Structure 1
């Protein structure tokens, strides 16, 4: 108790971040670097080589209109794309910065003896620091800002100051970002017609009204992540996954999670399984009797669904006809940079903060995700809005992203310790009803989607389902990131995907081989998924009635329900 109080008090000062975790990583790296004369020599030589390259480039750029750069920006780095960065003296500024960035990458990696986790933490911290110190972030060293200031007489800086004050006021008063008021839930987003057919202390289950004369006999049940509002899958009418599925002749149900508060502190992962997935399956089975269910899980909802499916397979429960996992990890050993925020030291601080309140604040999770791509989500956005004075129009996905949710103390701690850190589900140690479960027991067809630029669930980690299950697996790799790659409606420009099916018993292909050998298709992956769902449907039938738990037509209100409105 005393330790919890002490940790909780300190966690408030650091917003839940553990300084001990960073200190341990820095000490591990710095001590091993100090004991590595060969690495030191290599870094000194590289520093001299880079200085010589820079001096030669500075001389040549002063004599020639154009000359080859010392170093090019990384593939997705758009900070120096404007032609003005190629003009003196800004070409020297950006080249000096990029050379320094390259040197620090070499300095923080491949130091003998440093643990892999600490190496990645130090590399990440160095990158965050450099992104903050980028010349693109300062008025005097950014030619785009100077040009805008000169052409507008400084009005861009005035507009930027107003944007900053508006954002500060919104943050202090708890309002959403500028433009979010244009995306009201139930009016502008989450508008697919439907009814709430089940409500318990954790979920509302929504059944959507059919729009076709016949539907697939097997209904579709969607389990979204509990760290987000469900309506990412029912955004605006033009990009609603739910609306698309309904229009394709599927009976669709979706779980809307309650936004937990302090009273829900003791809800655990098994409560989410029982009150969420299993309760929803029971209700769907009552409304659509005698037919199995095509279950879909997104992000952590997919992890939870896989856990439930594994327990069902172990116990002989055959209510599932197929399983779709969207950007969902089962094996967390290679889960990307999100794992930098999760180790024993960090968890001690995080749990203390959650213990005091009974939940984790939504903004803390959102801030962690922003840090994974701070170059675009933090610094480039601040340059555009505060220095250039340009307030871009908010889109529905960005408005949804600002509608954060909380997580109960017990559930989030169990998830982080057992599934994320210890990898208990993938390695057969996670228990349901006192007995271990394994995804190897699942014997229904799987449709698994990974996204190319996923910072939350890297696609190679998602691909590891091939090592854990021997059923038919149709794997899709789509362009975009964790959210935009999933919300990828037909007709959206610059979309592409790869798809291939590994039949049960077929040989394993590693992810790089799979990517190299699988053809690329232009457009959205949604039609391929809808066709796969239709293939797994036994027949076309009349749509089931909208019903409550008894299937008698009783409903509990119109979609999107009440839980999604909770702040």
Structure 2
């Protein structure tokens, strides 16, 4: 196909281009000077470990294993050579005008190479295919190294992929046709704006790069996100309890208590009216209470996982009974909030407390024997580094945890913004989900250390008697109430194979449901959106593995919310007159979403 080079890559105004390049040079000097100044400020501080995540040791071990089998290394190099020979042959055929398929097909899901020039322009097509060939060879070669323990192999695989993603030609000006076209069309103005954005992000992150994912001024908690009407009816050091206004004249007798994670804020379930799970629940005739966790500072450094149970879920149950005079409830636990919910249910079962009559888990792990890619960050060296950071200030900064999650989807959540903000020089698009994602919370030192070591590293929650709270040993097997377990098929944070393990631990009836998409979109998928799908299995038997369960499951298009509400209504009791927040046994403290959720972390 003939290229339209003049249209694709316009000729710049050389004078203006030169001026902009001078501005880029000046901004770059400012960037370097700022870096050196910050480096000098911290030079007197005690130096930290050069490799806190122990990545170097993992790669040294991998290299020694590779060198121990030189024949396999030679085979790998020959395979790469053969791949390049085939790629060059295909490139030559294309230059001769022949129609040939790509030597290295581009995955349909890869958004980095969607511009037509990556396919139609022979130079950029070759660059793209060369990168795909080399990156696949590198990841495959590393993955096939024998003799590594499982954790080291996972760490090497993960960080190899991080390197491969970083080296994508889409991340550089001269090898990304979209960026190159913009640079020529604007005479380099995009790079000037991009450096301004980079400096702003470094200043906002106090020397660390805090990539701006969305327009932070476009949203206001309680203004255009988290707007479902309600009242805060109870609060303590760790949380505010919100009771939402009813949307129907009659409601089910048993209220619903939602326990979100305290790694992020609860309003992921209440972004906008059209996708608010909380609002939708009120429209289905449920009285909804939600825990809004505090954004802790150094004063709460010693708050424990046990405190989150006592001052969170258990305190909320007491407050609900005071507020509406009802003892029995249903509950939802989301992610870390679900892990806490499971521990609380086991504690309540051990104490004979039967107030919770049915529970739903959203993407929640209770058995961490297969934690997924987050397991890369769970070893003694990594946890010790995190504990050292927390010891200095009493908490883990929310941005540090967010960076870990972003690394799990680096192309979508890191490099796409590097290209848009810094290379294209564009402002990030206003997006409520990304605003929420940027509104991370801190994690108290004692609680987070316990969570990493006792849950992720030692997997004690899954072991009968492995943990005790308030002096009471707990056992998930003692939980006999009905349970609904939701997982996301593409979840990178709580993989569905890990979430499925919950079905092996609870003794009561468990309904497992697998939703399309991931950790967020797999949950926040309202029926009107008509997106994704979900799988259910109506056979009354216990499956040992998620593969066996999925092989006999039925796929249904659209949202899983209607399936869940049918299950929930069976456990929510008879209909009674709707309750108005603040008019029962607890008076309103302030309007929803309350003040705790509005406290932002630094950076």
Q: Scaled by the length of structure 2, what TM-score is found? A: 0.87
In the TM superposition, what are the counterparts of 1:9-24 in structure 2 within 5 Å? 9-11=46-48, 18-19=52-53, 21-24=54-57
Contact 1:192–1:237 (CA under 8 A) maintained in structure 2 = yes
Structure 2 match to 1:141? 175
Report the Cα distance in structure 2 between the residues aligned to 1:553 and 1:118, rounded to whole angstroms: 53
Runs of 4+ with deviation above 6 angstroms? 173-176
Are 1:508 and 2:539 counterparts? no
Are 1:327 and 2:336 counterparts? no
User: What SS is found at the alignment partner of 1:181?
Assistant: coil
Are 1:356 and 2:392 counterparts? yes
Counterpart of 2:571 (choices 508, 528, 536) is 536
Contact 2:322–2:585 (CA under 8 A) maintained in structure 1 = no
Q: Scaled by the length of structure 1, what TM-score is found? A: 0.92
Structure 2 match to 1:397? 433
Are 1:80 and 2:113 counterparts? yes
Contact 2:395–2:442 (CA under 8 A) maintained in structure 1 = yes
Structure 2 match to 1:271? 307
Structure 1 residue 156 displacement after superposition: 4.0
Structure 1 residue 170 displacement after superposition: 4.2
Question: Residue by residue, what CA displacement relative to the aligned partner does 1:257-280 show, whole Å, maximum 9, x if unpaired?
Answer: 111111111111101110111111
Which shifted more, 515-524 or 533-542? 515-524
User: What SS is found at the alignment partner of 2:366?
Assistant: coil
Are 1:126 and 2:160 counterparts? yes
User: What SS is found at the alignment partner of 1:333?
Assistant: coil
User: What SS is found at the alignment partner of 1:520?
Assistant: strand
Structure 1 residue 70 displacement after superposition: 1.8
Classify 1:36/1:409 alpha carbon distance in 2 versus 1 (closer, same or farther; 3 Å).
same
Structure 1 residue 461 displacement after superposition: 0.9
Contact 2:275–2:525 (CA under 8 A) maintained in structure 1 = yes
Structure 1: gaps spanning 5 or more residues: 1-7
Structure 1 residue 494 displacement after superposition: 3.0
Classify 1:425/1:518 alpha carbon distance in 2 versus 1 (closer, same or farther; 3 Å).
same
Structure 2 match to 1:432? 469
Report the Cα distance in structure 1 between the residues aligned to 2:70 and 2:472, rounded to whole angstroms: 52
User: What SS is found at the alignment partner of 2:81?
Assistant: helix
Contact 1:170–1:177 (CA under 8 A) maintained in structure 2 = no
Which shifted more, 510-519 or 103-112? 510-519
Report the Cα distance in structure 1 between the residues aligned to 2:534 and 2:470, rounded to whole angstroms: 39
Contact 1:84–1:143 (CA under 8 A) maintained in structure 2 = yes
Structure 2 match to 1:66? 99
In the TM superposition, what are the counterparts of 1:190-229 in structure 2 within 5 Å? 190-229=226-265
Contact 2:229–2:245 (CA under 8 A) maintained in structure 1 = yes
Question: Residue by residue, what CA displacement relative to the aligned partner does 1:162-199 show, whole Å, maximum 9, x if unpaired?
Answer: 54445445445999755222211111111111111111
Cα RMSD of the aligned pairs, angstroms, is 2.2
Question: Residue by residue, what CA displacement relative to the aligned partner does 1:74-124 show, whole Å, maximum 9, x if unpaired?
Answer: 453221222211221111111111111111112211222111111111111
Which shifted more, 132-141 or 178-187? 178-187
Contact 2:525–2:531 (CA under 8 A) maintained in structure 1 = no
Structure 2: gaps spanning 5 or more residues: 1-44
Classify 1:562/1:431 alpha carbon distance in 2 versus 1 (closer, same or farther; 3 Å).
same
Contact 1:262–1:358 (CA under 8 A) maintained in structure 2 = yes
Structure 1 residue 220 displacement after superposition: 0.2
Structure 2 match to 1:468? 505
Counterpart of 2:144 (choices 94, 110, 117) is 110
Question: Residue by residue, what CA displacement relative to the aligned partner does 1:303-323 show, whole Å, maximum 9, x if unpaired?
Answer: 000000011112221111111
Which shifted more, 363-372 or 285-294? 285-294
Report the Cα distance in structure 2 between the residues aligned to 1:176 and 1:187, rounded to whole angstroms: 21
User: What SS is found at the alignment partner of 2:257?
Assistant: strand
Question: Residue by residue, what CA displacement relative to the aligned partner does 1:238-266 show, whole Å, maximum 9, x if unpaired?
Answer: 21111110111100000011111111111
Structure 1 residue 480 displacement after superposition: 2.2
Question: Residue by residue, what CA displacement relative to the aligned partner does 1:527-549 show, whole Å, maximum 9, x if unpaired?
Answer: 2222221121221111235348x
Which shifted more, 404-413 or 467-476? 467-476
Contact 2:537–2:552 (CA under 8 A) maintained in structure 1 = no
